[in-house]
């Protein structure tokens, strides 16, 4: 969906990775959120009645579409579904808030470590890790944009994280050598929501 497009549907990602982005006044892209399998694509747009972000598939994405009118009617008539949607939006906002704090408070080295931990945690919850190893579902340009840095700099930071023993890389795979140590270094705590 493009900026300011009416949200006629709610999408739920079955597989793949979706990036949320906005264009700044000078035309530069800023990626500020990722949606993985099981995530809703901008449910806030459904509630507000419009999209003010662009959602872009970063790889092969399978998503299920639900018409906004039907979803909103279901939310209006079923308090449990309304609460579940509110809870999901709150969880989503908490992740975005944590990312914003990471962008503001961490240096480049720590930001990249933070985002790798966020991606690892999400993929681990989806059963897509093996021995703390996962396929990085994006190229370095996307990771650089997510971390607010230039692509050349992201490569240097990834090499430094590797040299310092926090990660190992092979092609598009990343292994978090000791997730607890990297989490401590960058102040990462998984975002959770009470049942």
Q: Burial-class residue 192 by CB neighbours within 10 Å (0-12, 13-18, 19+).
A: exposed
- Measured CA to CA, the distance from residue 21 to residue 137 in angstroms comes to 16
Flag whether pLDDT at 1 surpasses 70. Answer: no
Report the C-alpha dihedral over residues 9, 13, 14, 19, rounded to 10 degrees.
Answer: 140
Residue 194 lies in a domain: no
> In this predicted structure, what is the pLDDT of residue 151?
86
Percentage above 90 pLDDT, the chain: 46
Q: Tell me the mean pLDDT in the region 61-88.
A: 91
Strands, sheet with 173-176, edge to edge from the N-terminal-most edge strand: 133-135, 173-176, 167-170
Report the C-alpha dihedral over residues 36, 38, 41, 42, rounded to 10 degrees.
Answer: -100
Residue 131 lies in a domain: yes
> Can you give the CATH number for the domain in which 172 is found?
1.10.10.10
Quote the Cα angle for 93-141-183, to 5°. 50
Flag whether pLDDT at 145 surpasses 80. Answer: yes
Q: Tell me the mean pLDDT in the region 174-178.
A: 96
Count how many domains the chain has: 2
Q: Where are the beta strands (DSSP E) in the chain?
A: 9-15, 18-23, 29-35, 40-41, 54-57, 62-67, 133-135, 167-170, 173-176
> Can you give the CATH number for the domain in which 50 is found?
2.60.120.10
- Report helix, strand or coil for 175: strand
Task: Give the model confidence (pLDDT) of 81-120 as tens digits.
Answer: 999 988 888 888 888 888 888 888 999 999 999 999 999 9
> In this predicted structure, what is the pLDDT of residue 137?
86
> In this predicted structure, what is the pLDDT of residue 24?
79
Q: Are 62 and 24 in contact (CB under 8 A)?
A: no
Residue-number span of the structural domain to which 64 is assigned: 9-102
> In this predicted structure, what is the pLDDT of residue 2?
45
13 and 64 together in one domain: yes
Nearest to 12 by CA among 88, 65, 54: 65
Flag whether pLDDT at 177 surpasses 50. Answer: yes
Residue 36 lies in a domain: yes
pLDDT band for position 141 (cuts 50, 70, 90): confident
How far are the Cα atoms of 72, 127, 144, 163, 184 from residue 157, in angstroms, in the given order? 44, 27, 10, 10, 18
Q: What is the mean pLDDT of the chain?
A: 87
19 and 32 together in one domain: yes
Q: Tell me the mean pLDDT in the region 126-139.
A: 92
Rg (CA), the chain: 17
pLDDT band for position 50 (cuts 50, 70, 90): low
pLDDT band for position 49 (cuts 50, 70, 90): low
């Amino acid at each position: 969906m493009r900026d300011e497009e009416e949200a006629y549907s709610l999408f739920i990602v079955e597989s793949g990775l979706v990036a949320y982005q906005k264009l700044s006044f000078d035309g530069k892209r800023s990626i500020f959120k990722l949606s993985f399998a099981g995530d809703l694509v901008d449910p806030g747009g459904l509630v507000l009645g419009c999209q003010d972000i662009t959602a872009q598939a970063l790889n092969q994405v399978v998503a299920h579409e639900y018409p906004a009118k039907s979803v909103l009617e279901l939310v209006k008539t079923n308090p449990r579904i309304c609460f579940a949607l509110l809870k999901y939006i709150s969880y989503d906002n908490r992740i975005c808030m944590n990312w914003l704090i990471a962008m503001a408070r961490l240096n480049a080295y720590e930001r990249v470590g933070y985002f790798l931990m966020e991606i690892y945690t999400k993929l681990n919850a989806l059963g897509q890790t093996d021995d703390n190893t996962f396929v990085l579902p994006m190229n370095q340009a996307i990771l650089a944009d997510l971390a607010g840095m230039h692509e050349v700099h992201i490569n240097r930071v990834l090499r430094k994280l590797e040299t310092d023993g926090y990660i190992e890389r092979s092609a598009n795979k990343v292994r978090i050598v000791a997730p607890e140590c990297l989490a401590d270094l960058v102040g990462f705590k998984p975002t959770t929501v009470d049942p």
